[in-house]
Amino acid sequence: MKKLYFLLFIAMNVSIVYSQNKQIDDIHNKWVPNQVIVKFKDNYQLNNRLMSVGKTGTSQAFDDLAANTKIKKLERVFAQDGFFVRKAKLRGMVRKYENLTTVTMVKDSVNMNELIKQFQAMPEVEYAEPNYIFSTGNTTKPNPVQLISLEEEKQNYLTNIKIDNTKIKSPFRFLAPAPAVTPSDPLFAQQLNLQLINAQKAWEVTKGDSSVVIAVLDTGIDWQHPDLAANIWTNPKELNGKTGVDDDGNGLVDDIRGWDFVNNDNDPTDDNSHGTHVAGIIAARGDNGIGITGVNWYAKIMCIKVMQSTGRGDAATIAKGVEYAAANGANIINLSLGGYYESLTLKAALENAYANCFIVAAAGNDATCIGPGKCPDGSPSAPLYPGAYSFVMGVQDNATYSNYDQDGAFSSGYTNLLNYDTYAPGSSVTSTIPNGAYAAYTGTSMSTPAVAGIASLYMSLNKSYDKELLFTEMIQQQTNGFVDAYKVLTDVPKPDLHIAKFDIVDTAAGDNNNGRPDAGENINLRIYLKNFSAKADSVSIKVSYEGLADTSLVHFIQDSCFVGSVSPNAVTFSQSPLNIAIANKVAHGADYKINVAIKDNKGNKWSNQIVITFQNAITLGGIITNDLTLYPNKYYNVTDNVILNGCKLIIKPGTVLNFSQGKGLRTNNKGAVIAL
């Protein structure tokens, strides 16, 4: 299966607003000016010779459009040859990289919306999208740190950072006397983030080892920093090869420590400080008498620069970094970055990398809930990508600045189950910055590497592990609002099942197929279960009346069903749904609670509850000959075409009409619809 990605660079003077939940950044920071990514369907392939003369070899329609907008250059998003092909195949990845490609075009005053529509209308194009901008967020940067006592640092933390006291009254009250493992690093006393995740206790189990590789996709890393140099990953073939020669044949010359995809060279040095700070949180060398210690004392950091000195980066560049990390053996990918626009190109790269990598990303720093709908404070919601994806561990801080998941990791109102998953401290975190220095920064960018570090400790201890189980352990094992490293390492997991969502299926004869529990209907109830821990076998579900429920309103025809096995972090449902009959007398808009009992073959039991909201609507359909007024205190189902024959239909403001598929209103003999 061959996939083609083009990146089109187009000069334009118009603004585009794509459908998203919220636009938080300045409009000019949404996408890279003059660029569009076009993904081609299977079996369409660029010809390099044709590319050089402005013809793609795909279709005449594409070439005509390219000519009209003046193609400047064509280039591939990913290398046609090299590591994206060979190393990816060696790692068992399914995606082919030969045909992931970029295109450059130039023309003044291009209508970007229209251009994308033209691309999408072509039979060979799977999708077209802007090259969206991602950023490292509004990370606050206090002054460089100085040596102070632990008690002074605790007081500064509580004074300067406004912790949400409704979530965590005191982040220090659970701290026990210092365990035996206390590294010699002089700034360790100021690393309250390590104490809040119970790292010292975790180090009694393991301090990590060099077998785990964490790819830090960021602004680069000061790989010569005295506290990081010993833990920087190296590419052995390039390290031991000839200077100026592509010794491993991956298309990148002398990529000894990683790669700079911004400047396209082999020196991923940090020109911002953000990436160096992130790297130190994960794996600054522990107990070396210098500066700080990372969560993992010995893990290897793969340096991948995908963000510019301003902290901004684009989807195509980040996707290149993701593919490089996955193909070159990274166990973990840390993405302390995000954006409110979803890039399908970056998502595809992450989905492929997920086969071999544990991916961790920031939730963001705008105090915005993930949604959907309004946040608890009434403000608009917005998921931050890629942290919101269900296969990426989205990390929040338990502080008021942090983006957050208002319904928790156990449920999601999105059909694709967008979630943030766990919490780690990101407020006033001390870590490395370039030129051998240290500073305390604040942001979920600092929370994310703490979780990446815990994951690397887990992998050091468990050479063969279940990625999904690790995912659920990170969610479950928390102490006073933050992930607990010691519990993650030592917990003996048991299944933990919760209701992810439920569907109502009303397709039986006489039902209106609107997905709602209407009066008099016989509905099927499909309950989706999500497992947040170890695998559960022979799972079954049984529904029953809530204690004070009016049993005359609902009759359980089929009150139990068999689900089967549910893997860690998996969502599944029974193929044989529950069946419920709803009485004709139910009140419109009334809520009805139903108990849901879940059990497995090991005797584990879970009690849940769902709420359905009855509808008792007036049915409309057929020929109407007398004037009719519809009111907002009623609900109307249009189950068949309505023909107004010589009469008026007056619809008052706020009235709700639910139309069955393909049904509508028609007039005849001067009939009229008056919608006020």
Transcribe 254-281 into DSSP letters: T-SSEEETTTTBS----SSSHHHHHHHH
Instruction: Decide if pLDDT at 66 tops 80.
Output: no
Separation CA 638–CA 641 (nearest Å): 7
Residue 603 makes CB contacts below 8 A (sequence gap 6+) with none
Separation CA 629–CA 636 (nearest Å): 12
Taking residues 548-564, report their average pLDDT: 94
Instruction: Decide if pLDDT at 42 tops 90.
Output: no
The percent of residues above 90 in pLDDT, for the chain, comes to 53
Question: What is the DSSP-derived secondary structure letter of residue 162?
Answer: -
pLDDT in the model for residue 168: 37
Note whether 193 and 424 are within 8 A (CB).
yes
Q: Which two tokens stand for residue 268?
A: 């991923």
Taking residues 527-537, report their average pLDDT: 89
Note whether 394 and 424 are within 8 A (CB).
no
460 included as an active-site residue: no
Separation CA 293–CA 289 (nearest Å): 9
pLDDT in the model for residue 191: 95
pLDDT in the model for residue 539: 95
Taking residues 52-58, report their average pLDDT: 51
Q: How far is CA 359 from CA 74, 175, 352, 647, in A?
A: 31, 29, 11, 62
Range from 148-152, 547-551, 628-632 carrying the lowest mean pLDDT: 148-152
For residue range 653-675, list pLDDT tens digits in order.
988 888 888 888 899 888 899 98
For residue range 158-177, list pLDDT tens digits in order.
554 443 333 333 444 445 45
Instruction: Determine the distance from the C-alpha atom of residue 18 to the mean position of all C-alpha atoms in its chain, rounded to a whole number.
Output: 19
Note whether 631 and 650 are within 8 A (CB).
no
Catalytic residue chosen out of the listed positions 135, 274, 456, 506: 274
**β 522-531/497-505 pair status:** antiparallel
Instruction: Decide if pLDDT at 133 tops 70.
Output: yes
Instruction: Determine the distance from the C-alpha atom of residue 434 to the mean position of all C-alpha atoms in its chain, rounded to a whole number.
Output: 29
Question: What is the DSSP-derived secondary structure letter of residue 315?
Answer: H
Note whether 637 and 518 are within 8 A (CB).
yes
Taking residues 85-90, report their average pLDDT: 43
445 included as an active-site residue: yes
Separation CA 84–CA 348 (nearest Å): 14
Residue 86 makes CB contacts below 8 A (sequence gap 6+) with 249, 250
Q: How confident is the model at residue 45 (pLDDT cuts 50, 70, 90)?
A: low
Separation CA 80–CA 85 (nearest Å): 8
SS3 152: helix
Q: How confident is the model at residue 70 (pLDDT cuts 50, 70, 90)?
A: low
For residue range 377-394, list pLDDT tens digits in order.
999 999 999 999 999 999
Separation CA 662–CA 514 (nearest Å): 12
Instruction: Decide if pLDDT at 88 tops 60.
Output: no
Catalytic residue chosen out of the listed positions 445, 447, 533, 574: 445
Q: Which two tokens stand for residue 431?
A: 């870590």
SS3 228: coil
Taking residues 291-298, report their average pLDDT: 97
Instruction: Decide if pLDDT at 68 tops 70.
Output: no
Taking residues 558-579, report their average pLDDT: 89
Q: How confident is the model at residue 23 (pLDDT cuts 50, 70, 90)?
A: very low
pLDDT in the model for residue 112: 67
Separation CA 147–CA 91 (nearest Å): 45
pLDDT: is 19 or 625 the higher one? 625
pLDDT in the model for residue 533: 83
CA angle 633, 638, 644 (to 5 degrees): 95
Range from 60-74, 122-136, 140-154, 524-538 carrying the lowest mean pLDDT: 140-154
Per-residue H/E/C for 458-506? HHHHCCCCCHHHHHHHHHHCEECCEECHHHHHHCCCCCCEEEEEEEEEC
Burial 391-401 (b: 16+ CB within 10 A, else e): bbbbbbbbbeb
SS3 227: coil
Residues composing the chain: 676
Phi then psi for 120, rounded to 5 degrees? -65, -25
Q: How confident is the model at residue 21 (pLDDT cuts 50, 70, 90)?
A: very low
pLDDT in the model for residue 67: 65
Taking residues 44-62, report their average pLDDT: 55
Separation CA 47–CA 49 (nearest Å): 6
pLDDT: is 409 or 23 the higher one? 409
Separation CA 590–CA 588 (nearest Å): 6
Separation CA 588–CA 583 (nearest Å): 12
Instruction: Decide if pLDDT at 182 tops 70.
Output: yes
**Helix H or strand E encompassing 541:** strand 536-545
**Helix H or strand E encompassing 389:** none
Note whether 318 and 32 are within 8 A (CB).
no
496 included as an active-site residue: no
Catalytic residue chosen out of the listed positions 218, 227, 421, 484: 218
Average of per-residue pLDDT values in the chain: 82
Residue 367: how many CB atoms within 10 A of its CB?
Answer: 15
Instruction: Decide if pLDDT at 89 tops 90.
Output: no
β-partners of residue 591 are 613
